[in-house]
Amino acid sequence: MKRYVIKRILLIIPVVIIVAILVFTIMYFCPGDPVSVILGGHASDIEIAAKRAEMGFDDPYILQLGKFLFNFFIKGDLGRSYITDQSVIEVIMARFPRTLIFSLACIILSVIIGIPLGMVAAVHRNSWGDRISMIFALIGSSLPNFWLALQLVIIFALRLGWLPAYGIGGIKYYILPIMAASLDGIAQEARQTRSSMLEVIRSDYVTTARAKGIPERKILIRHVLPNALIPVIQTMGNIFARSLGGALLIETVFSIPGMGVYLQTGIANRDYPVVRGSVVFLAVVFSIVMLLVDIAFAYIDPRIKAQYENHGKKNTLSPGRQQKGGA
């Protein structure tokens, strides 16, 4: 297991390098450049051309890529914003915690609410419980989160005056954004849990457990749920990844200075260090999250753990069985 984890950690390195090359290449081929933003709308084309040359944008692709990769991976320098001249890594470290709070809150809510909802739906299949849960899940998946965000602001901030409409500060500033951002995740978890549990509930060993007289609650918690959790945990990973990169709409509506807005502004301004630094940073975070998801799989399902531990070994049979010719 340790070897597997170390191997996965080492695999993050080529993933990050490939992501860095990809984002560099995409931004390279995007029309426009940041010089027109730096110099402002009143700069002439001749001034823009001179600034481009000064900033190295006229260098060949390979040369620019080489400089970027060297600075990035050897010097560890994510660069400075072309527009504000602020260190990209410092700004990311200031903004990322806010985005992380949303993502973690989405995960927690999706687990606390989504999984029980899915369980209720699965256990009471085709009854009222199932229908209400799935209608809720359908609404949650269908509602655009920016629309929901504005409705929550109008109801709770404007009409009732219970919560602030925008900004950052104490816990109360996060309530509405988290509500708006997590509904989709809750819906997804509920549907995935229901689907996975239905698959497992029909298994022979569950029927056997019932036949042996084990209480239904115990069957659900100890036999059904652990076996149904693999796809559910996978969904959690996806929700987390989406909420990391997709927090832009929520951050915009609630004026929260997070990663989404930072990245979007960087893209609009062709602020290459901001875009590259943010994307690679998010790629690293996502890779770590996926690793944690895979580790969680191993702890939940011993078969997967065995797979990890035996991965790479050519002959998994015991010596005794080998001698008998595998009989």
Partner 1 sequence: MKLKKSLALALTAVMLAGTLTACKSSGTTTGNESTAGTTAVIKSDTGESSDTGEKKVIIGVSADPETFKPYSSLYDWRYTMLCMVYQPLVLVSQNQEYKVMITGYEKVGDNVFEVSLYENIYDTAGNHFTAEDVVFSYGKAMESGNFSKLNSLVAIEALDDYTVKFTCDDTLVSGQFTLILSQIFMITQAAYEASADEMALSPVGTTGYVVDRYQAGANIIFAKSATGYWQTAKKGEEGYCFMFDTDNVDIVEYDFITESSQMAIALQTGAIDVASRISTMDLTLFEEGGEAFGTADTYELTGQHYTATFNCSEDSVCSDLNLRKALAYSWDSMGIVQMALDGMGEPATALNHNTRLDYDSAFDSWDYYDYNLETAKKYLQTYLDETGKAAGDVTITILVVNDTYLQKVAQTMQTYIMQLGVNCEVAAFDSVTRKSIRNSTEGWNIAVAKSTVTDQYLVSTMDMQFNRDKSASKAGGWVDDDTLQELLLAACKEETHTIQTVSAFEQYMKEQCYALGVCVDNVYLACDTWITELVTGPYDMVAPCASTYDWTAKK
Q: How far is CA 176 from each of CA 108, 129, 162, 169, 269, rounded to the nearest angstrom? A: 15, 27, 10, 13, 29
Structure tokens at 74: 């050897």
Size of the site for partner 1 (CB under 8 A): 63
Give the torsion through C-alpha atoms of 251, 86, 281, 18, to 10 deg.
130
Phi, psi (5° rounding) for residue 124?
Answer: -100, 45
Please list every residue from 142 through 181 that binds partner 1, using CB under 8 A: 150-151, 153-155, 157-161, 163-170, 173
Question: Which range, of 3-11, 84-92, 99-107, 174-182, touches partner 1 by CB under 8 A?
Answer: 84-92
Residue 255 C-beta: closest distance to partner 1, Å: 5
Rounded Cα–Cα distance for residues 143 and 141 (Å):
6
Residue 264 C-beta: closest distance to partner 1, Å: 10
Cα angle vertex 24, ends 22, 27, to 5°?
105
**Closest listed residue to residue 261, CA positions, set 94, 110, 20, 148:** 94
268 is a site residue for partner 1 (CB under 8 A): yes
End-to-end CA distance of the chain: 29
Site string for partner 1, 228-267 (x = CB under 8 A): -----------------------xxxxxxxx--x------
Site string for partner 1, 28-47 (x = CB under 8 A): --xxxxx-xxxxxxxxxxxx
Residue 285 C-beta: closest distance to partner 1, Å: 20
Residues that bind partner 1 in the complex, under the rule CB under 8 A: 30-34, 36-49, 51, 54, 81, 83-86, 91, 94-95, 131, 135, 139, 150-151, 153-155, 157-161, 163-170, 173, 251-258, 261, 268-270
